[in-house]
Amino acid sequence: MADLAPRLYNLFSAPFKALYSRNFYLQVLFAKRGVGFTYLVFLSLLLAFPVTYKVLNVVDLLKNFELSRLVAQVPPSYISPSGLLTSKSEINYAEITNSKGEVIIVYNPEDQILTGNLLNAPIEITSSSLIIRLNNEDGSTHSAQAIPWTLIFEKGGNFEPMQVAAAFEEAASAPMLGFYVGAIVYLLFYVVLNWFIIAAFGRLLMYFISKVKIRFKDALRLSSYANTLVMIIGALSFYYTIDFTIIFLLPIFYIIMVGRFIRQKVMAVGAEAFGLAIEIALKRDNLKNGVSDQDFNFALEQIRNKNNNQDSASESSNKSQDFHNGSFMA
C-alpha cells in the first residue's frame, strides 16, 4: 500500500509530462519497457469520460429535437457507387421542422447554398455527408461534425428513413456503459494507425538526422507517449471544430527532440560517457529527473580514472617485462 500512491502519481502524471518534458521521454526510451500500447489503452480510458459525456448530451439534444419522428420524414434515398447520397424521388430539397416550427433537418442532396438561420440547422443531409451542428444559446454554431456517408452506409446501399429512425431510437436507449466502451474503441482506432506511422517515420528521422539508431519496439514506445497530444485533441474535437491536417504530424517533433538531445550529448562527451551517465541516472532515480550535467561529469571522471588505471597497469607490466628481459641490469 505504501507504494500505491507513487505508482498512481506516475500513472496519472504521465499524460501531462508527455506534453512537455524531454526528461520524461528519456525515461520512456531507457527505463520503460514494452511498446506503449498499454499506455494508449489507459489514455483512452481517461479521455473516454469527456467524450461519453458529450455524446450523451448530443443524444439528449437530438431526443428533444424529436429526431426519430423527423428522420422518418426524410425522402427515401440511396448511396451511389461513388459514395454520394441521391434522392429516390423528385424531392431534392426539404426543410423538416419539429412541433415548435424550428427547422431541425435540412435535406439538401444537391448541395444548394444555404442562407440565414438554415446555416445553423442542427442536421444537414448533403450529397457527401451527414452534418451535425451543435449551437450556442443564441443559435450560432458552436461546433460541427461532418460524417461521410461511406462511414455509415455501404456504397449502393439504401437510406431508408424509417429504418434510420428505428436505429436511432435503439442507439439512444443504449446504457451509458455502451457509449463509454464505444468512445474507448473510437479513440484507440483514431490513434493506432498514427502510432505505427510515427514510430516508423520517427525511427528513420532519428537515424538520418541525429545518427541515433533505436529498435522499432523502442520507437513504438516513444510514439505512444508522443501521440498523447493527438488523442487529447481527438477528444476535444467532440467539443470544438478542429482541423487535423497538421495535428497527426505533431508527435514526430517529440521523437526528433529526443534524438537531437542524444546526438548533442554523444558529440559532447562521447558514446561511452553518455551510456554511463544514463546508467548512473537509472540507478539514482530511474531517470525520473532525467540525466544531469553532473551525471555526465561523473561519467567522464570514471572513464578517466579507468583509463589512468589501465595506463598504470600497462606501464607496470612493461617494466616487469623489461626486468625479466634484463633491461634493468647494468
188 and 155 co-located in one domain? no
In this prediction, residue 137 carries a pLDDT of 58
Between CA 325 and CA 315 the distance in angstroms is 15
Which alpha helices (DSSP H) does the chain contain, by range? Answer: 4-20, 22-30, 37-64, 67-71, 161-172, 176-210, 216-226, 228-236, 251-269, 271-285, 293-324
Q: Which of 285, 300, 321 lies at the terminal end of a domain, its last residue? A: 285
Say if CB 88 and CB 78 are below 8 A apart: yes
Q: Report the share of the chain in percent with pLDDT over 90.
A: 29
| Residue 174 pLDDT > 80 | no
Say if CB 287 and CB 31 are below 8 A apart: yes
The mean per-residue pLDDT over the stretch 272-289 comes to 87
184 and 278 co-located in one domain? yes
- In the predicted model, what is the mean pLDDT of the chain? 83
| Residue 328 pLDDT > 50 | no
112 and 186 co-located in one domain? no
Report long-range pairs for 119-127 (Cβ below 8 Å, ≥24 apart).
121/95, 122/61, 122/62, 122/65, 123/65, 123/67, 125/74, 125/85, 126/85, 127/84, 127/85, 127/86
Local confidence band at 290 (pLDDT 50, 70, 90 cut-offs): confident
Place of cell 461546433: 143
97 and 136 co-located in one domain? yes
In this prediction, residue 157 carries a pLDDT of 82
Q: Report the share of the chain in percent with pLDDT over 70.
A: 87
Ramachandran class of 188: left when φ > 0, alpha when ψ lies in -120 to 50, beta otherwise: alpha
In this prediction, residue 298 carries a pLDDT of 86
Q: Domain for residue 59, yes or no?
A: no
List, as one string, the DSSP characters of 5-40.
HHHHHHHHHHHHHHHH-HHHHHHHHHT--S-SHHHH
Domain that holds residue 257: 4-50+178-285
Q: Domain for residue 318, yes or no?
A: no
Which cell goes with 248? Answer: 497527426
Between CA 177 and CA 202 the distance in angstroms is 36
Instruction: Kindly report, residue by residue over 9-21, the tens digit of the pLDDT.
Output: 888 899 999 999 9
113 and 256 co-located in one domain? no
In this prediction, residue 254 carries a pLDDT of 93
Residue 296, CA atoms < 13 Å, CB-side half-sphere: 14
182 and 281 co-located in one domain? yes
Which cell goes with 95? Answer: 426543410
155 and 182 co-located in one domain? no
Local confidence band at 6 (pLDDT 50, 70, 90 cut-offs): confident
Q: Domain for residue 302, yes or no?
A: no
Local confidence band at 320 (pLDDT 50, 70, 90 cut-offs): very low
Q: Domain for residue 236, yes or no?
A: yes
108 and 11 co-located in one domain? no
- Give the CA angle between residues 235, 238, 241 to the nearest 5°: 110
Instruction: Kindly report, residue by residue over 27-69, the tens digit of the pLDDT.
Output: 999 999 888 999 999 999 999 999 999 888 877 777 777 777 8
The mean per-residue pLDDT over the stretch 187-194 comes to 90
Q: Domain for residue 190, yes or no?
A: yes
In this prediction, residue 173 carries a pLDDT of 74
Q: Domain for residue 18, yes or no?
A: yes
Q: Which of 132, 159, 186 lies at the terminal end of a domain, its last residue? A: 159
Between CA 49 and CA 61 the distance in angstroms is 18
In this prediction, residue 327 carries a pLDDT of 39
- pTM of the entire structure? 0.75
26 and 112 co-located in one domain? no
Nearest to 200 by CA among 211, 212, 186, 214: 214
204 and 270 co-located in one domain? yes
- Cβ-based neighbour number of residue 87 at 10 Å: 20
Instruction: Kindly report, residue by residue over 142-160, the tens digit of the pLDDT.
Output: 667 777 887 777 888 887 7
Number of domains in the chain: 2
131 and 280 co-located in one domain? no
201 and 277 co-located in one domain? yes
Question: Which sign, positive or negative, has the C-alpha torsion 305, 307, 309, 311?
Answer: negative
In this prediction, residue 324 carries a pLDDT of 44
Instruction: Kindly report, residue by residue over 248-266, the tens digit of the pLDDT.
Output: 888 999 999 999 999 998 9
In this prediction, residue 90 carries a pLDDT of 86
Say if CB 103 and CB 117 are below 8 A apart: yes
Which cell goes with 124? Answer: 444537414
Q: Domain for residue 114, yes or no?
A: yes
Q: Domain for residue 209, yes or no?
A: yes
- Cβ-based neighbour number of residue 96 at 10 Å: 19
Top-confidence range, 156-170, 180-194, 297-311, 314-328: 180-194
